[in-house]
């Protein structure tokens, strides 16, 4: 099954990093045996989501994403526990990368954005749905060189898709210098709550009381979840 979305290129004049295109071009699901050898931590015969991601930045040849890593780590502190797939393909982490709070191998170009997004998808799935372990891999295209395939194992197909779109939305906001606190903390908190109690999505008063959110906030956050395909099936 394939889920496609193509959006027009967009830019923000006030962006810290000017983005011409950043979109999910296609989503599909399968075992993808041809890429299993790329990460020895993939479970045997595991099912994966494949996110085809386009990233095209205006005039950005080399990237220093230190502030981006810090913002993402603040929102997802468990990223510090991730193990980057270091092997003959990637080399080893240097001391700066190990001490950054998000211990991922960095290259210095848009590959780092796609790689960070892979780990964000993994982290969101694990945090919201309680996965014990999850592995992934990011593969860059030679042509076009702004396209990447992100493969991530999943337990719940719908959660994998939601985590992918939430990651995309978050990365756009962070790269453009927009605030993500406390809104996205609440989105993640509500998504986790509804994963545990799926029949309470229309119980505004109960959600408001349990999470200590205002009723108005609950309604707005539920709309955000719908926009990010949380309630979509298949």
* pLDDT of residue 126 exceeding 80: yes
Q: Are residues 35 and 67 in the same domain?
A: yes
User: What pLDDT band is residue 12 in, cutting at 50, 70 and 90?
Assistant: very low
225 CA to centre of own chain: 15
The structure tokens listed for 85 are 């797939």
* pLDDT of residue 9 exceeding 80: no
Q: How many CB atoms lie within 10 A of CB 185?
A: 13
Nearest-CA neighbor of 56 among 20, 26, 13? 20
Between the CA of residue 114 and those of 132, 145, 181, what are the distances in Å? 23, 12, 22
Q: Are residues 57 and 101 in the same domain?
A: yes
- Name every residue whose Cβ is closer than 8 Å to that of residue 32 and which is 6 or more positions away in sequence: 48, 50, 151
Q: Are residues 154 and 190 in the same domain?
A: no
pLDDT value at residue 102? 82
The pLDDT of 187-198, averaged and rounded, is: 97
Lowest mean pLDDT, pick from 104-108, 129-133, 166-170, 194-198: 104-108
Q: Which residue has the tokens 């210095």?
A: 108
Q: Are residues 211 and 174 in the same domain?
A: no
Q: Spell out where the chain has E strands.
A: 2-4, 19-30, 48-57, 136-140, 147-153
Tens digits of residue pLDDT in 55-91: 999 877 688 898 999 999 999 999 999 988 644 444 4
Rounded to the nearest integer, the mean pLDDT of the chain is 88
User: What pLDDT band is residue 15 in, cutting at 50, 70 and 90?
Assistant: very low
Residue predicted with more confidence, 78 or 103: 78
Q: ∠ CA(140), CA(130), CA(193), 5° rounding?
A: 110
Q: How many CB atoms lie within 10 A of CB 130?
A: 12
Nearest-CA neighbor of 63 among 18, 119, 117? 18
- Indicate the burial class of 234 (C-beta count within 10 angstroms; 0-12, 13-18, 19 or more): exposed
- Do residues 103 and 82 lie in contact, with contact meaning Cβ atoms separated by under 8 Å? yes
The domain of 162 spans 2-178
- Indicate the burial class of 201 (C-beta count within 10 angstroms; 0-12, 13-18, 19 or more): middle
Residue predicted with more confidence, 101 or 211: 211
Nearest-CA neighbor of 156 among 81, 232, 80? 232
Q: Are residues 44 and 146 in the same domain?
A: yes
* pLDDT of residue 178 exceeding 60: yes
pLDDT value at residue 234? 72
Tens digits of residue pLDDT in 202-234: 999 999 999 999 999 999 999 999 999 999 987
Q: Are residues 111 and 211 in the same domain?
A: no
Q: Are residues 151 and 168 in the same domain?
A: yes
User: What pLDDT band is residue 98 in, cutting at 50, 70 and 90?
Assistant: low
Q: Are residues 35 and 143 in the same domain?
A: yes
Q: Are residues 100 and 169 in the same domain?
A: yes
pLDDT value at residue 96? 61
Domain count, the chain: 2
Q: Dihedrals φ, ψ of 12, to 5°? A: -125, 125
pTM of the model: 0.89
């Amino acid at each position: 099954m394939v889920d496609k979305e193509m959006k027009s290129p967009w830019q923000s004049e006030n962006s810290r990093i000017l983005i011409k295109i950043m979109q999910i071009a296609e989503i599909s699901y399968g075992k993808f045996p041809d890429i299993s050898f790329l990460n020895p931590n993939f479970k045997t015969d595991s099912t994966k989501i494949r996110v085809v991601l386009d990233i095209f930045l205006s005039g950005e040849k080399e990237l220093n994403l230190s502030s981006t890593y810090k913002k993402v780590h603040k929102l997802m502190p468990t990223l510090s526990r991730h193990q980057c797939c270091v092997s003959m393909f990637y080399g080893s982490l240097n001391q700066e990368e190990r001490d950054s709070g998000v211990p991922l191998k960095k290259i210095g170009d848009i590959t780092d954005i796609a790689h960070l997004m892979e780990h964000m998808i993994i982290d969101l799935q694990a945090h919201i749905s309680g996965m014990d372990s999850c592995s992934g891999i990011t593969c860059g295209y030679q042509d076009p060189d702004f396209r990447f395939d992100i493969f991530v194992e999943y337990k719940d197909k719908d959660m994998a898709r939601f985590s992918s779109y939430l990651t995309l939305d978050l990365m756009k906001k962070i790269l453009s210098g927009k605030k993500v606190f406390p809104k996205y903390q609440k989105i993640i908190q509500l998504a986790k709550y509804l994963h545990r109690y799926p029949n309470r999505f229309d119980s505004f008063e109960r959600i408001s009381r349990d999470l200590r959110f205002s009723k108005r906030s609950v309604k707005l956050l539920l709309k955000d979840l719908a926009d990010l395909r949380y309630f979509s099936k298949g």
